[in-house]
Amino acid sequence: MIKLDEQGVISRSHGGVALRRFEPAQPTTNEKQLRSPAEKRAIARVAASLVNAGDAVVLDAGTTMMELAKCLTHLPLRVITVDLHIALFLAEFRQIEVTIVGGRIDDSSQSCIGEHGRKLLRSVYPNIAFMSCNSWGVKTGVTTPTEDKAGLKQEIIANAQRKVLLADSSKYGAHSLFNVVPLERFNDVITDVNLPPSAQVELKGRAFALMLVQPE
């Protein structure tokens, strides 16, 4: 069991063992909107408190990122995003300058992927970058179903002064095929209090700040 735990096949706890969930495909935007909405809103509110007026901000794709975008509309910002929905939403606010990275459109998330976007992201040095995910864990870090998305996510945070992961507790312990980055690459990890106590213990005291939010 120790070997299987080290390989990430199972997770051990005081109550026994459990198979780790493998997420083979990216859920659609509509599917994600139905998952943990209160947790996502609470995470977004805390994430927004890290952003200052005048910041250059990079936003990943996803429903948690859209909730974050809704919390930023009162600020003058420069926002770079891979998400079509976020770009169109923020473009309605005159004090926010929006750049979309461009490239091929992923039909599951309606976001940009490919080398065009990666090249643009490599050329910018934002104050803060926010990454979303559909699976994460202590041993696996952030994972994603496709190589294209893994590469793009790596560039989203690569040059940022502050790197922040937004990940609700329902995604913890699952893993997908491609590793993006270890959790230690982030300055902050924001999740919710429904994270299992054993996971909270594992995550505390590491190189990043762990923020646990309370959904309303």
Specify the pTM: 0.85
Q: Domain coordinates of the chain in residue numbers?
A: 26-213
Helices (H), 26-146: 29-33, 37-48, 63-70, 84-90, 115-122
Is the per-residue pLDDT at 160 higher than 90? yes
What CATH topology corresponds to 26-213? Rossmann fold (3.40.50)
Of all residues in the chain, what percent carry a pLDDT higher than 70?
A: 83
202 has a pLDDT exceeding 70: yes
CA gyration radius, the chain: 17
Residue-wise pLDDT for 11-39, tens only, equals 554 444 444 555 555 655 545 554 679 99
Which of 75-84, 106-115, 169-178 has the highest average model confidence (pLDDT)?
A: 75-84
